[in-house]
């Protein structure tokens, strides 16, 4: 395990900032662009979240949010005013922590695509880690007052490099029954039409529950809102991404994609 290179640190920060912009824009219903800035002194945190990173990257980060910003983030998530978020009707720290969990979920998908298989675990914390590493102020212009929180990279190191992202597919991808020759005839197959579909999640149901389904029934899936959506070609996962709206239609912004060999395996 070696110290992470400066360009990789920049890439981690970039993906976290992009995840912040993406999640907050979806919640606010308008485009919000986050940007990093230098921070010398620790934030007087009312909400402190520790992020353990394991896998292709290994380290520890902290998110610190002041009391005023905690109320602002809670208000953004719940649709209430900041004053109401500070009152008894809402736990602003829990709401702000949920918002940060969504941001970290989005960031983890982007980081997997850049570095390979990794996992982010979030923990509510009371005490800070040693004040080493770099501190950043993530700023998001929003209405009259900007939103901001501290991202503290306590430690971070690379464990391995993986050029192709890992796609967790519950169904194993079968080995193709043919191989294309070197320099091959792939061009002959490029006009083949394949069935593409998006999978938001799955659930096993007993026959009784299926029979009782009616208009208005809600079927809960095994995937959270912030988790990536699967792109399937003829029933096989070849990519994952986030749902977007394109001229009134659903679309998918790709965050992870299968290897060329796995794509070829989808051919009939």
Concatenate the DSSP letters of all residues of the chain into one string. -EEPPHHHHHHHHHHHHHHHHHHHHHHHTS----EEEE--SPP-EEEEEEEEEEESEEEEEEEEEEHHHHHHHHHHHHS--HHHHTSTT--HHHHHHHHHHHHHHHHHHHHHHHH-SEEEEEEE-SSPPPS-SEEEEEEE--TTS-EEEEEEEEEEEE----SS-----SSPPPPPS--PPTT-SGGGGTT----EEEE-------HHHHHT--TT-----SS-TTSPEEEEETTEEEEEEEEEEETTEEEEEEEEE--HHHHHTT--
Cβ atoms of residues 57 and 118 within 8 Å = yes
Higher pLDDT, 74 or 179: 74
What pTM was computed for the model? 0.57
Question: Tell me, what's the pLDDT at 158?
Answer: 80
Task: State what percent of residues in the chain have pLDDT above 70.
Answer: 77
Where do the structural domains in the chain lie, given as residue ranges?
2-158, 186-264
Residue 167 has pLDDT above 90, yes or no: no
CATH number of 2-158: 3.40.1550.10
Provide CB contacts within 8 A for 73, sequence distance 6+.
65, 92, 95, 96, 99, 100, 147, 149
Reply yes or no on whether the pLDDT at 207 is more than 90. Answer: no
Average pLDDT score over residue span 76-88: 61
Neighbours of 216 (CB within 10 A): 5
Query: For the purposes of burial, counting CB atoms within 10 Å of the CB of 228, is it exposed (0-12), middle (13-18) or buried (19 or more)?
Result: buried
pLDDT tens digit string along 128-152?
A: 887 678 889 999 988 777 899 999 9
The Cα 104–Cα 90 span in angstroms is 22
CB 156 within 8 A of CB 12: yes
**Mean pLDDT along residues 19-44:** 89
Q: For 186-264, CATH number?
A: 2.30.330.10
d(CA 151, CA 50): 10
Cβ contacts of 24-30, under 8 Å, gap ≥ 24: 24/76, 24/103, 24/140, 24/142, 24/147, 27/76, 27/77, 27/99, 28/76, 28/142
What's the pLDDT band for 49 if we cut at 50, 70, 90?
very high
Residue 239 near residue 231, CB atoms below 8 Å: yes
d(C-alpha 1, C-alpha 73), whole Å:
36
Q: What's the mean pLDDT in 233-256?
A: 83
């Amino acid at each position: 395990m070696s110290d992470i290179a400066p360009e990789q640190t920049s890439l981690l920060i970039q993906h976290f900032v992009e995840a912040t912009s993406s999640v907050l824009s979806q919640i606010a219903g308008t485009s919000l662009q986050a940007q990093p800035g230098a921070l010398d002194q620790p934030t007087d945190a009312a909400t402190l979240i520790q992020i353990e990173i394991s896998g292709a990257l290994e380290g520890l980060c902290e998110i610190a949010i002041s009391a005023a910003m905690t109320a602002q983030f809670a208000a953004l998530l719940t649709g209430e005013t900041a004053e109401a978020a500070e009152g008894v009707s809402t736990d602003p720290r829990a709401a702000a922590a949920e918002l940060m969990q969504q941001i970290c979920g989005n960031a983890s998908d982007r980081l997997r695509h850049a570095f390979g298989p990794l996992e982010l675990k979030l923990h509510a914390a009371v005490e800070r880690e040693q004040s080493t590493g770099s501190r950043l102020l993530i700023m998001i212009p929003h209405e009259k007052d900007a939103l901001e929180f501290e991202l503290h990279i306590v430690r971070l190191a690379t464990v391995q490099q993986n050029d192709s992202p890992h796609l967790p597919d519950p169904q194993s991808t079968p080995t193709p029954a043919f191989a294309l020759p070197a320099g091959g005839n792939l061009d002959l197959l490029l006009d083949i039409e394949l069935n593409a579909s998006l999978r938001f999640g799955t659930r096993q149901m007993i026959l009784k529950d299926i029979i009782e389904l009616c208009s208005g029934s809600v079927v809960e899936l095994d995937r959270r809102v912030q988790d990536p959506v699967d792109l399937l070609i003829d029933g096989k996962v070849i990519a994952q991404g986030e749902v977007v709206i394109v001229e009134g239609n659903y679309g998918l912004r790709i965050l992870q994609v299968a290897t060329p060999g796995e794509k070829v395996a989808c051919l009939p």
